[in-house]
Amino acid sequence: MRGSRSGIAAPGWTVFSRDGRQIGTVDAVFADYLLVRTWGLLPVDLYIPVSAVVASSGGRMIVEAGGDEAYDLWHRPLKRAPHG
């Protein structure tokens, strides 16, 4: 289920944590990170590095963090760039 860097994900793919929780949906794919919109009452954007993807296939991908860790690791305030 491992994807290559160029085909690791596409907009609309569902993102899951390593513990099986749904994190959100891929909104955009960039060279070294994915912009993921979380689900919930107040959705936020997560900037997930491509290196954090452990598996991807068929419109689904799994990242190396647990569901509770994802926000802490990859949420960036509006004024901070994902590379900063």
Say what the pLDDT of residue 83 is: 58
Full set of structural domains in the chain with CATH: 14-74 (2.30.30.240)
pLDDT digits (tens, 9 = 90+) for 9-22: 899 999 999 999 99
Task: Note the pLDDT of residue 2.
Answer: 43
Distance CA 24, CA 40 (A): 9
Cα–Cα dist 35/31, whole Å: 11
Residues 6+ apart with CB under 8 A from 67: 17, 19, 21, 23
Per-residue pLDDT tens over the stretch 41-83: 788 999 999 999 999 999 999 999 998 898 889 987 655 555 5
34: its two tokens:
């994915």
